[in-house]
Amino acid sequence: MMTELPWLYAAMTAYALATFCAFYDVVPVRAGRVARHAMNERMVLGLLLVGVTLLVVTLGERWLRLGHGPFVNLFELLISQLFSLGVIYALVYWRVPLMRRSALVALPLLWVLGLWVLLIEPADSVLPPTYHNNWLWAHVGFGKVFLSFCLIGSGLAGVLLLRRWPLFRSWFHTMPSDKIIDGLAWRFMLIAFAFHTLMLIAGAVWAQDAWGRYWAWDALETSSFLNWLLLGAALHARVSYKVPLRLGAVLIIAVFVFAFFTYFGTPFYSEAAHKGVI
């Protein structure tokens, strides 16, 4: 019996309420705006943390039941990703007040994963023999931090793009100038780049131990290397040329979309994400 499912549903409810609170914040009211704004931000943060806690219980239940961590099938990869994205997003949301309104963009993106995990078969999995390796933890951990900072950067990039339209301008009018948001978004992408590099290194060490080669151009390796090149090229282009802010925002979102397909699209065009996984 999948005892973890009720906890997962509760966690997704908490994430949904956090998203609702973020949007409720932009509904125009005549008075008490500042007080409601502060309370809503605390609600968003609190609900995100409740969701993260419930996901910890979900993962723990599943781990105890199956005897291994969430590393194998898409269902458990999505749960663990929802956890890591939630925990890092909440941490940055707390520490960097400036980016909080970008939750209007980032939380719906998070919800794409939330809806997906609710729609797929919650199948059990078996840990392949090559997954009994400590470098797997480092590889997966660095990858999760990379995607989390990509999500935060994409949230800010989304603000840059959306507030061109009058409809959305009022949503983000409390945020600073485009230039400051652009600088902040790229700073998160710089952090993402460092963790992506670490993910590739840890993955290569794991692959050497697991399959007797450190690189074999399998589906995930090829896709993640292309993603690293894209982010590296975007960072170089921004530093060396006057990349317009909105083009920069499009580049950030392109990196995030590429990363999203690397993580979650690979199972659709490759039977085994990593070559020799079984």
Partner 1 sequence: MMRWLHWLGTTRLTLLGMALLAIGAALSYDNPVTTPVWVLVLPLLLLALNLLIAIIINPAINRRAGLLLFHIGLLAVVVLVAIGRLTSMEAHIELVDNAAFDSEALFNVRQGPWHDGDLEQIRFVQKGFSVDYRPGMKRGLTHNHILLADDDGRMQPLVIGDDRPLLVNGYRIYTTSNKGFAPRLTWVADDGATVSGSINMPSYPLLYFRQANEWTPPGGEAIKFWLQVDAGLQEDAAWVLEPNRAAGTLVINESGRRVELQPGQSLVLAGGTLHYDRLSSWMGFKLFYDPTLPWLFISAILAVLGLLLHYWKKFSAEPLLINPSADDQSLTLTGGKTA
Closest approach of Cβ 103 to partner 1, in Å?
15
The DSSP output letter for 182 is H
User: In terms of CB distance, is 241 or 268 closer to partner 1?
Assistant: 241
Closest approach of Cβ 53 to partner 1, in Å?
26
Q: Which residue has the tokens 């943390």?
A: 49
**Contact positions toward partner 1, by CB under 8 A?**
34, 37, 95-98, 126-130, 132-133, 174, 176-177, 180, 183-184, 187, 190-191, 193-194, 197-198, 201, 204-205, 208-214, 216-219, 222, 225-226, 229-230, 232-233, 236-237, 239-241, 275, 278
Closest approach of Cβ 109 to partner 1, in Å?
22
- In terms of Cα–Cα distance, which of 152, 158, 151 is closest to 178? 158
User: In terms of CB distance, is 62 or 82 closer to partner 1?
Assistant: 62
Closest approach of Cβ 129 to partner 1, in Å?
5
Report the alpha-carbon angle 95-96-102, nearest 5.
Answer: 130
User: In terms of CB distance, is 61 or 209 closer to partner 1?
Assistant: 209
User: In terms of CB distance, is 64 or 194 closer to partner 1?
Assistant: 194
**In angstroms, what CA-CA distances link 36 with 28, 46, 52, 263?**
11, 15, 24, 37
User: In terms of CB distance, is 12 or 151 closer to partner 1?
Assistant: 151
- Taking CB atoms within 8 Å and a gap of at least 24, the contacts of 32-39 are 37/174
Closest approach of Cβ 9 to partner 1, in Å?
27
Question: Encoding tokens for residue 222?
Answer: 């090829």
User: In terms of CB distance, is 10 or 122 closer to partner 1?
Assistant: 122
Closest approach of Cβ 6 to partner 1, in Å?
25
As a whole number of angstroms, the distance between CA 43 and CA 23 comes to 12
Q: Is 263 helix (H, G, I), strand (E, B) or coil?
A: helix
Closest approach of Cβ 107 to partner 1, in Å?
19
The DSSP output letter for 9 is H
Give first-to-last CA distance, the chain, whole Å.
25
As a whole number of angstroms, the distance between CA 187 and CA 141 comes to 20
User: In terms of CB distance, is 71 or 225 closer to partner 1?
Assistant: 225
As a whole number of angstroms, the distance between CA 171 and CA 43 comes to 18
